[in-house]
Structure 1
Amino acid sequence: LPPAPARGRRGAARPSGDDRRRAILETAERLLDERGYAAVSVDDLARGAGISRPTFYFYFSSKEEVLLALLDRVVAEARARRPRTAAAGEEPAALLRGVIAAVHGAFSAHRAVTVAAAQARATSPAVREVWSGVMEGFAAETAALVEAERARGAAPPGPPARDLAVLLNSMNERVLESCYAGTGPSVDAEHVVDLLLAVWLRAVYARPGPPPRTPPGGPA
Protein backbone atom coordinates (compact mmCIF):
# COMPACT_ATOMS: atom_id res chain seq x y z
CA LEU A 1 0.00 0.00 0.00
CA PRO A 2 1.25 3.53 -0.69
CA PRO A 3 2.14 5.54 2.39
CA ALA A 4 -0.64 7.58 3.86
CA PRO A 5 -0.47 11.26 2.96
CA ALA A 6 1.02 13.51 5.61
CA ARG A 7 -1.61 15.21 7.71
CA GLY A 8 -1.79 18.91 7.04
CA ARG A 9 -2.72 21.62 9.48
CA ARG A 10 -6.41 20.99 9.04
CA GLY A 11 -5.92 17.34 9.89
CA ALA A 12 -3.93 17.95 13.07
CA ALA A 13 -5.39 16.45 16.19
CA ARG A 14 -7.32 18.96 18.25
CA PRO A 15 -7.38 19.03 22.05
CA SER A 16 -10.28 17.07 23.47
CA GLY A 17 -12.75 18.48 25.95
CA ASP A 18 -10.99 16.62 28.75
CA ASP A 19 -7.65 18.13 27.67
CA ARG A 20 -9.08 21.64 27.76
CA ARG A 21 -10.72 21.15 31.12
CA ARG A 22 -7.48 19.74 32.50
CA ALA A 23 -5.55 22.68 31.08
CA ILE A 24 -7.89 25.13 32.79
CA LEU A 25 -7.51 23.38 36.14
CA GLU A 26 -3.74 23.16 35.86
CA THR A 27 -3.55 26.83 34.91
CA ALA A 28 -5.78 27.77 37.82
CA GLU A 29 -3.70 25.92 40.41
CA ARG A 30 -0.50 27.48 39.07
CA LEU A 31 -1.94 31.00 39.09
CA LEU A 32 -3.42 30.56 42.56
CA ASP A 33 0.06 29.70 43.79
CA GLU A 34 1.60 32.70 42.00
CA ARG A 35 -1.04 35.39 42.61
CA GLY A 36 -3.78 34.27 44.96
CA TYR A 37 -7.48 33.82 44.24
CA ALA A 38 -8.52 37.48 44.12
CA ALA A 39 -5.91 38.37 41.48
CA VAL A 40 -6.86 35.61 39.02
CA SER A 41 -9.43 36.38 36.31
CA VAL A 42 -11.33 34.31 33.78
CA ASP A 43 -9.21 35.90 31.04
CA ASP A 44 -6.07 34.71 32.86
CA LEU A 45 -7.43 31.17 33.04
CA ALA A 46 -8.47 31.10 29.38
CA ARG A 47 -5.18 32.56 28.19
CA GLY A 48 -3.12 30.15 30.29
CA ALA A 49 -5.12 27.19 28.99
CA GLY A 50 -4.69 28.31 25.38
CA ILE A 51 -8.39 28.86 24.72
CA SER A 52 -10.70 31.79 24.15
CA ARG A 53 -12.90 33.33 26.83
CA PRO A 54 -16.11 31.96 25.17
CA THR A 55 -14.55 28.49 25.08
CA PHE A 56 -13.75 28.75 28.80
CA TYR A 57 -17.44 29.25 29.53
CA PHE A 58 -18.24 26.02 27.73
CA TYR A 59 -16.43 24.17 30.57
CA PHE A 60 -16.92 26.42 33.61
CA SER A 61 -19.37 29.17 34.46
CA SER A 62 -16.89 31.19 36.55
CA LYS A 63 -13.50 31.10 38.25
CA GLU A 64 -15.42 30.14 41.40
CA GLU A 65 -16.57 26.94 39.69
CA VAL A 66 -12.95 26.22 38.72
CA LEU A 67 -11.92 26.58 42.37
CA LEU A 68 -14.69 24.20 43.42
CA ALA A 69 -13.51 21.63 40.87
CA LEU A 70 -9.96 21.88 42.24
CA LEU A 71 -11.27 21.53 45.78
CA ASP A 72 -13.23 18.42 44.80
CA ARG A 73 -10.01 16.82 43.53
CA VAL A 74 -8.12 17.59 46.74
CA VAL A 75 -10.91 16.23 48.93
CA ALA A 76 -11.11 13.06 46.82
CA GLU A 77 -7.35 12.61 47.23
CA ALA A 78 -7.62 13.04 51.01
CA ARG A 79 -10.48 10.54 51.23
CA ALA A 80 -8.61 8.01 49.11
CA ARG A 81 -5.68 8.14 51.54
CA ARG A 82 -7.76 8.11 54.72
CA PRO A 83 -8.02 4.77 56.60
CA ARG A 84 -11.49 3.82 57.79
CA THR A 85 -10.69 1.20 60.44
CA ALA A 86 -7.66 -0.16 62.23
CA ALA A 87 -5.78 -3.08 60.72
CA ALA A 88 -5.52 -6.25 62.81
CA GLY A 89 -3.15 -5.65 65.70
CA GLU A 90 -2.59 -2.02 64.73
CA GLU A 91 -1.89 0.48 67.46
CA PRO A 92 -4.53 3.22 67.86
CA ALA A 93 -1.87 5.85 67.27
CA ALA A 94 -1.15 4.38 63.84
CA LEU A 95 -4.81 4.54 62.83
CA LEU A 96 -5.28 8.15 63.88
CA ARG A 97 -1.95 9.20 62.43
CA GLY A 98 -3.15 7.77 59.11
CA VAL A 99 -6.39 9.76 59.30
CA ILE A 100 -4.66 13.06 60.12
CA ALA A 101 -1.74 12.52 57.74
CA ALA A 102 -4.11 11.74 54.86
CA VAL A 103 -5.80 15.12 55.14
CA HIS A 104 -2.55 16.98 55.77
CA GLY A 105 -0.81 15.23 52.89
CA ALA A 106 -3.51 16.01 50.34
CA PHE A 107 -4.18 19.61 51.36
CA SER A 108 -0.52 20.54 51.87
CA ALA A 109 0.29 19.15 48.40
CA HIS A 110 -2.28 21.62 47.04
CA ARG A 111 -1.58 24.46 49.43
CA ALA A 112 -2.66 27.20 47.01
CA VAL A 113 -6.07 25.58 46.50
CA THR A 114 -6.52 25.17 50.26
CA VAL A 115 -5.68 28.81 50.97
CA ALA A 116 -7.85 30.06 48.08
CA ALA A 117 -10.83 28.05 49.29
CA ALA A 118 -10.41 29.40 52.82
CA GLN A 119 -10.30 32.96 51.48
CA ALA A 120 -13.25 32.46 49.13
CA ARG A 121 -15.48 31.16 51.92
CA ALA A 122 -15.69 34.71 53.28
CA THR A 123 -17.45 35.99 50.16
CA SER A 124 -18.82 32.98 48.27
CA PRO A 125 -21.96 31.17 49.47
CA ALA A 126 -21.24 28.36 46.99
CA VAL A 127 -17.75 27.74 48.38
CA ARG A 128 -19.10 27.91 51.96
CA GLU A 129 -21.78 25.37 51.12
CA VAL A 130 -19.34 22.97 49.48
CA TRP A 131 -16.82 23.28 52.31
CA SER A 132 -19.57 22.73 54.89
CA GLY A 133 -20.38 19.49 53.09
CA VAL A 134 -16.71 18.49 53.09
CA MET A 135 -16.41 19.07 56.83
CA GLU A 136 -19.69 17.24 57.45
CA GLY A 137 -18.29 14.27 55.52
CA PHE A 138 -15.04 14.26 57.49
CA ALA A 139 -17.01 14.51 60.75
CA ALA A 140 -19.25 11.59 59.78
CA GLU A 141 -16.24 9.43 58.87
CA THR A 142 -14.49 10.31 62.12
CA ALA A 143 -17.62 9.61 64.17
CA ALA A 144 -17.90 6.18 62.54
CA LEU A 145 -14.25 5.50 63.32
CA VAL A 146 -14.72 6.51 66.98
CA GLU A 147 -17.81 4.30 67.30
CA ALA A 148 -15.95 1.38 65.73
CA GLU A 149 -13.02 1.82 68.12
CA ARG A 150 -15.39 1.93 71.09
CA ALA A 151 -17.26 -1.14 69.84
CA ARG A 152 -14.06 -3.19 69.65
CA GLY A 153 -13.02 -2.06 73.12
CA ALA A 154 -10.03 -0.02 72.00
CA ALA A 155 -11.54 3.33 73.01
CA PRO A 156 -13.47 4.03 76.23
CA PRO A 157 -16.98 5.51 76.32
CA GLY A 158 -17.04 9.29 76.13
CA PRO A 159 -18.85 12.24 74.59
CA PRO A 160 -21.17 11.55 71.67
CA ALA A 161 -19.02 10.40 68.78
CA ARG A 162 -20.40 13.01 66.37
CA ASP A 163 -19.78 15.90 68.77
CA LEU A 164 -16.23 14.71 69.36
CA ALA A 165 -15.68 14.29 65.61
CA VAL A 166 -16.90 17.83 64.86
CA LEU A 167 -14.57 19.30 67.49
CA LEU A 168 -11.53 17.36 66.29
CA ASN A 169 -12.05 18.10 62.62
CA SER A 170 -12.73 21.79 63.32
CA MET A 171 -9.44 21.93 65.23
CA ASN A 172 -7.62 20.29 62.32
CA GLU A 173 -9.20 22.72 59.87
CA ARG A 174 -8.08 25.82 61.76
CA VAL A 175 -4.60 24.57 62.61
CA LEU A 176 -3.80 23.28 59.12
CA GLU A 177 -5.14 26.38 57.37
CA SER A 178 -2.97 28.62 59.55
CA CYS A 179 0.06 26.49 58.63
CA TYR A 180 -0.62 26.71 54.91
CA ALA A 181 -1.50 30.40 54.87
CA GLY A 182 1.32 31.44 57.19
CA THR A 183 -1.09 33.35 59.42
CA GLY A 184 -0.61 33.46 63.15
CA PRO A 185 -0.85 31.93 65.52
CA SER A 186 0.37 28.76 63.86
CA VAL A 187 2.44 25.70 64.72
CA ASP A 188 5.49 24.22 63.02
CA ALA A 189 4.19 22.56 59.83
CA GLU A 190 6.90 19.91 60.10
CA HIS A 191 5.44 18.63 63.37
CA VAL A 192 1.77 19.50 62.94
CA VAL A 193 0.66 15.88 62.45
CA ASP A 194 2.36 14.83 65.72
CA LEU A 195 0.76 17.72 67.61
CA LEU A 196 -2.72 17.04 66.28
CA LEU A 197 -2.26 13.32 66.91
CA ALA A 198 -1.45 13.95 70.57
CA VAL A 199 -4.77 15.78 71.02
CA TRP A 200 -6.76 13.15 69.08
CA LEU A 201 -5.28 10.33 71.17
CA ARG A 202 -6.29 12.01 74.40
CA ALA A 203 -9.76 12.81 73.08
CA VAL A 204 -10.56 9.40 71.57
CA TYR A 205 -8.57 6.98 73.71
CA ALA A 206 -8.05 9.01 76.91
CA ARG A 207 -4.35 8.38 76.69
CA PRO A 208 -1.31 10.64 76.28
CA GLY A 209 0.14 11.19 72.87
CA PRO A 210 3.68 10.45 71.75
CA PRO A 211 6.40 12.59 73.34
CA PRO A 212 7.14 15.79 71.42
CA ARG A 213 10.11 15.68 69.11
CA THR A 214 13.23 17.56 70.13
CA PRO A 215 13.54 20.69 67.98
CA PRO A 216 16.59 21.08 65.76
CA GLY A 217 19.58 22.17 67.83
CA GLY A 218 18.40 20.42 70.97
CA PRO A 219 16.02 21.54 73.76
CA ALA A 220 15.35 25.25 73.99
Structure 2
Amino acid sequence: MRGDGVVKVRDQRRAALLESLGELLQESDLDSINIADISRRAGVTRSAFYFYFESKHLAVAALMEQVYDGAMLATERFADPDLSPAERVRGMVTTLFDTVEEHTHLFRAMLDARGQSPAVREMWDSDRQSFVGLVADLVRTERAAGRAPDGPDPDALAAMLLELNDRALGRLTLGTLDRDALTEAVVSIWVRSIFATDPATDLETA
Protein backbone atom coordinates (compact mmCIF):
# COMPACT_ATOMS: atom_id res chain seq x y z
CA MET A 1 0.00 0.00 0.00
CA ARG A 2 2.81 2.37 0.87
CA GLY A 3 4.40 1.78 -2.52
CA ASP A 4 1.12 2.61 -4.25
CA GLY A 5 0.97 5.87 -2.31
CA VAL A 6 4.47 6.85 -3.41
CA VAL A 7 3.62 6.14 -7.05
CA LYS A 8 0.45 8.22 -6.75
CA VAL A 9 2.36 11.18 -5.32
CA ARG A 10 4.94 10.92 -8.10
CA ASP A 11 2.21 10.82 -10.73
CA GLN A 12 0.59 13.88 -9.17
CA ARG A 13 3.88 15.78 -9.16
CA ARG A 14 4.57 14.92 -12.77
CA ALA A 15 1.05 15.98 -13.75
CA ALA A 16 1.45 19.23 -11.81
CA LEU A 17 4.70 20.01 -13.63
CA LEU A 18 3.13 19.39 -17.03
CA GLU A 19 0.10 21.47 -16.11
CA SER A 20 2.39 24.26 -14.95
CA LEU A 21 4.37 24.14 -18.19
CA GLY A 22 1.17 24.17 -20.24
CA GLU A 23 -0.08 27.27 -18.43
CA LEU A 24 3.24 29.07 -18.84
CA LEU A 25 3.33 28.29 -22.56
CA GLN A 26 0.00 30.07 -22.94
CA GLU A 27 1.58 33.15 -21.39
CA SER A 28 5.06 33.11 -22.90
CA ASP A 29 7.33 31.34 -25.38
CA LEU A 30 9.53 28.38 -24.45
CA ASP A 31 12.79 30.35 -24.51
CA SER A 32 11.44 32.73 -21.86
CA ILE A 33 10.47 29.92 -19.47
CA ASN A 34 12.98 28.33 -17.11
CA ILE A 35 12.91 25.30 -14.84
CA ALA A 36 12.46 27.47 -11.75
CA ASP A 37 9.30 29.02 -13.25
CA ILE A 38 7.81 25.61 -13.98
CA SER A 39 8.72 24.14 -10.59
CA ARG A 40 7.54 27.15 -8.62
CA ARG A 41 4.11 27.18 -10.24
CA ALA A 42 3.79 23.42 -9.76
CA GLY A 43 4.72 23.74 -6.09
CA VAL A 44 7.73 21.42 -6.29
CA THR A 45 11.49 21.85 -6.20
CA ARG A 46 13.85 22.13 -9.16
CA SER A 47 15.32 18.76 -8.21
CA ALA A 48 11.82 17.28 -8.42
CA PHE A 49 11.53 18.57 -11.97
CA TYR A 50 14.77 16.84 -12.95
CA PHE A 51 13.52 13.61 -11.39
CA TYR A 52 10.90 13.47 -14.16
CA PHE A 53 12.47 15.36 -17.06
CA GLU A 54 16.02 15.95 -18.22
CA SER A 55 15.10 19.32 -19.72
CA LYS A 56 12.18 21.62 -20.41
CA HIS A 57 12.37 20.48 -24.03
CA LEU A 58 11.63 16.88 -23.06
CA ALA A 59 8.84 18.13 -20.78
CA VAL A 60 7.27 19.78 -23.83
CA ALA A 61 7.50 16.47 -25.68
CA ALA A 62 5.70 14.76 -22.79
CA LEU A 63 3.04 17.46 -22.82
CA MET A 64 2.43 16.81 -26.51
CA GLU A 65 1.18 13.32 -25.71
CA GLN A 66 -2.23 14.82 -24.99
CA VAL A 67 -2.67 15.82 -28.65
CA TYR A 68 -1.64 12.49 -30.19
CA ASP A 69 -5.25 11.32 -30.07
CA GLY A 70 -5.95 13.93 -32.73
CA ALA A 71 -3.38 12.34 -35.02
CA MET A 72 -4.94 8.91 -34.54
CA LEU A 73 -8.42 10.28 -35.22
CA ALA A 74 -7.11 11.90 -38.40
CA THR A 75 -5.80 8.52 -39.58
CA GLU A 76 -9.19 6.94 -38.86
CA ARG A 77 -10.90 9.61 -40.98
CA PHE A 78 -8.58 8.79 -43.86
CA ALA A 79 -9.42 5.09 -43.54
CA ASP A 80 -13.21 5.51 -43.89
CA PRO A 81 -14.11 3.66 -47.14
CA ASP A 82 -17.65 5.08 -47.21
CA LEU A 83 -16.34 8.53 -48.15
CA SER A 84 -14.88 9.72 -51.43
CA PRO A 85 -11.08 10.08 -51.62
CA ALA A 86 -11.29 13.87 -51.38
CA GLU A 87 -13.68 13.70 -48.41
CA ARG A 88 -11.43 11.25 -46.60
CA VAL A 89 -8.29 13.29 -47.11
CA ARG A 90 -10.07 16.53 -46.25
CA GLY A 91 -11.42 14.96 -43.06
CA MET A 92 -7.90 13.91 -42.09
CA VAL A 93 -6.38 17.32 -42.79
CA THR A 94 -9.21 19.18 -41.06
CA THR A 95 -8.84 17.03 -37.94
CA LEU A 96 -5.08 17.62 -37.85
CA PHE A 97 -5.44 21.36 -38.33
CA ASP A 98 -8.21 21.60 -35.71
CA THR A 99 -5.90 19.85 -33.25
CA VAL A 100 -3.08 22.29 -33.99
CA GLU A 101 -5.29 25.34 -33.59
CA GLU A 102 -6.68 24.01 -30.31
CA HIS A 103 -3.14 23.58 -28.96
CA THR A 104 -1.20 26.23 -30.88
CA HIS A 105 0.92 27.11 -27.85
CA LEU A 106 2.05 23.49 -27.53
CA PHE A 107 2.88 23.07 -31.20
CA ARG A 108 4.83 26.32 -31.23
CA ALA A 109 6.80 25.17 -28.18
CA MET A 110 7.35 21.78 -29.80
CA LEU A 111 8.79 23.43 -32.91
CA ASP A 112 11.21 25.33 -30.68
CA ALA A 113 12.08 22.23 -28.65
CA ARG A 114 12.61 20.17 -31.78
CA GLY A 115 14.97 22.77 -33.17
CA GLN A 116 17.01 22.98 -29.96
CA SER A 117 17.08 19.39 -28.69
CA PRO A 118 18.37 16.42 -30.73
CA ALA A 119 16.53 14.09 -28.34
CA VAL A 120 13.19 15.80 -28.98
CA ARG A 121 13.84 15.88 -32.72
CA GLU A 122 14.51 12.14 -32.66
CA MET A 123 11.29 11.54 -30.71
CA TRP A 124 9.29 13.67 -33.16
CA ASP A 125 10.73 11.82 -36.16
CA SER A 126 10.07 8.48 -34.49
CA ASP A 127 6.45 9.41 -33.77
CA ARG A 128 5.93 10.44 -37.39
CA GLN A 129 7.58 7.23 -38.57
CA SER A 130 5.13 5.22 -36.47
CA PHE A 131 2.33 6.40 -38.78
CA VAL A 132 4.14 5.42 -41.99
CA GLY A 133 3.11 1.78 -41.75
CA LEU A 134 -0.53 2.70 -41.11
CA VAL A 135 -0.74 5.01 -44.12
CA ALA A 136 1.22 2.61 -46.35
CA ASP A 137 -1.15 -0.24 -45.46
CA LEU A 138 -4.13 1.98 -46.29
CA VAL A 139 -2.57 2.76 -49.68
CA ARG A 140 -2.10 -0.96 -50.33
CA THR A 141 -5.72 -1.61 -49.34
CA GLU A 142 -6.97 1.08 -51.72
CA ARG A 143 -4.92 -0.34 -54.57
CA ALA A 144 -6.03 -3.90 -53.90
CA ALA A 145 -9.68 -2.78 -53.88
CA GLY A 146 -9.25 -0.96 -57.18
CA ARG A 147 -9.95 2.43 -55.64
CA ALA A 148 -6.40 3.66 -56.29
CA PRO A 149 -4.03 2.93 -59.18
CA ASP A 150 -0.61 1.35 -58.83
CA GLY A 151 2.12 3.84 -58.11
CA PRO A 152 5.24 4.46 -56.04
CA ASP A 153 6.28 2.18 -53.20
CA PRO A 154 3.58 2.63 -50.51
CA ASP A 155 6.06 3.05 -47.66
CA ALA A 156 8.07 5.70 -49.49
CA LEU A 157 4.89 7.48 -50.56
CA ALA A 158 3.50 7.42 -47.01
CA ALA A 159 6.77 8.77 -45.60
CA MET A 160 6.79 11.69 -48.04
CA LEU A 161 3.13 12.54 -47.47
CA LEU A 162 3.62 12.54 -43.71
CA GLU A 163 6.65 14.81 -44.18
CA LEU A 164 4.30 17.13 -46.05
CA ASN A 165 1.85 17.08 -43.13
CA ASP A 166 4.73 17.85 -40.79
CA ARG A 167 5.70 20.94 -42.77
CA ALA A 168 2.08 22.00 -43.13
CA LEU A 169 1.52 21.82 -39.37
CA GLY A 170 4.57 24.02 -38.90
CA ARG A 171 3.25 26.57 -41.39
CA LEU A 172 -0.14 26.59 -39.71
CA THR A 173 1.38 26.97 -36.25
CA LEU A 174 3.57 29.89 -37.29
CA GLY A 175 0.78 31.48 -39.32
CA THR A 176 2.87 31.81 -42.47
CA LEU A 177 0.07 30.52 -44.72
CA ASP A 178 -3.70 30.96 -44.67
CA ARG A 179 -5.43 27.85 -43.30
CA ASP A 180 -7.89 27.48 -46.18
CA ALA A 181 -5.16 27.79 -48.80
CA LEU A 182 -2.95 25.37 -46.89
CA THR A 183 -5.80 22.88 -46.55
CA GLU A 184 -6.55 22.92 -50.26
CA ALA A 185 -2.89 22.46 -51.16
CA VAL A 186 -2.36 19.51 -48.79
CA VAL A 187 -5.63 17.81 -49.79
CA SER A 188 -4.78 18.18 -53.48
CA ILE A 189 -1.32 16.67 -53.07
CA TRP A 190 -2.59 13.69 -51.03
CA VAL A 191 -5.49 12.94 -53.40
CA ARG A 192 -3.36 13.25 -56.53
CA SER A 193 -0.51 11.22 -55.04
CA ILE A 194 -2.66 8.28 -53.93
CA PHE A 195 -5.80 8.25 -56.04
CA ALA A 196 -4.76 9.82 -59.36
CA THR A 197 -2.60 8.24 -62.03
CA ASP A 198 1.16 8.39 -61.55
CA PRO A 199 2.38 11.81 -62.83
CA ALA A 200 5.73 10.28 -63.83
CA THR A 201 3.96 7.70 -66.01
CA ASP A 202 1.77 10.39 -67.56
CA LEU A 203 4.86 12.40 -68.51
CA GLU A 204 6.55 9.36 -70.04
CA THR A 205 3.53 8.59 -72.22
CA ALA A 206 2.73 12.20 -73.17
For residues 206 and 155 of structure 1, what CA distance do their matches in structure 2 show? Answer: 7
For residues 149 and 114 of structure 2, what CA distance do their matches in structure 1 show? Answer: 36
Give the SS at the match of 1:153: coil
The runs of 5 or more residues in structure 1 that have no matched partner are: 1-14, 208-220
Which residue of structure 1 lines up, in the alignment, with residue 11 of structure 2? 18
For residues 44 and 202 of structure 1, what CA distance do their matches in structure 2 show? Answer: 48
Which residue of structure 1 lines up, in the alignment, with residue 24 of structure 2? 31
Matched, 1:111 2:101: no
Contact persistence 2:104–2:173 (CA under 8 A): yes
For residues 140 and 188 of structure 2, what CA distance do their matches in structure 1 show? Answer: 19
How high is the TM-score relative to the length of structure 1? 0.76
For residues 167 and 29 of structure 2, what CA distance do their matches in structure 1 show? Answer: 19
For residues 169 and 178 of structure 1, what CA distance do their matches in structure 2 show? Answer: 14
How high is the TM-score relative to the length of structure 2? 0.80
Return closer, same or farther for 1:124/1:151 CA change in 2, 3 Å cut-off.
Answer: same
Which residue of structure 1 lines up, in the alignment, with residue 196 of structure 2? 206
RMSD: 2.3
1:1-220 equivalence runs, <5 A: 16-83=9-76, 86-182=79-175, 186-206=176-196
Give the SS at the match of 2:50: helix
The runs of 5 or more residues in structure 2 that have no matched partner are: 1-7, 198-206
Contact persistence 2:142–2:148 (CA under 8 A): yes
Q: How many residues are paired up?
A: 190
For residues 80 and 67 of structure 2, what CA distance do their matches in structure 1 show? Answer: 25
> How many angstroms does 1:83 deviate by?
0.7
Q: Deviations over 1:148-191 (max 9, x none)?
A: 11111111111111222122111221122122113xxx321245
Return closer, same or farther for 1:188/1:133 CA change in 2, 3 Å cut-off.
Answer: same
For residues 35 and 158 of structure 1, what CA distance do their matches in structure 2 show? Answer: 46
Identity value in percent: 34
> How many angstroms does 1:19 deviate by?
3.0
> How many angstroms does 1:84 deviate by?
6.7
> How many angstroms does 1:111 deviate by?
1.4
Return closer, same or farther for 1:55/1:86 CA change in 2, 3 Å cut-off.
Answer: closer
For residues 121 and 89 of structure 1, what CA distance do their matches in structure 2 show? Answer: 37
Contact persistence 2:77–2:91 (CA under 8 A): no
For residues 160 and 197 of structure 1, what CA distance do their matches in structure 2 show? Answer: 20
The structure that has the greater radius of gyration is 1
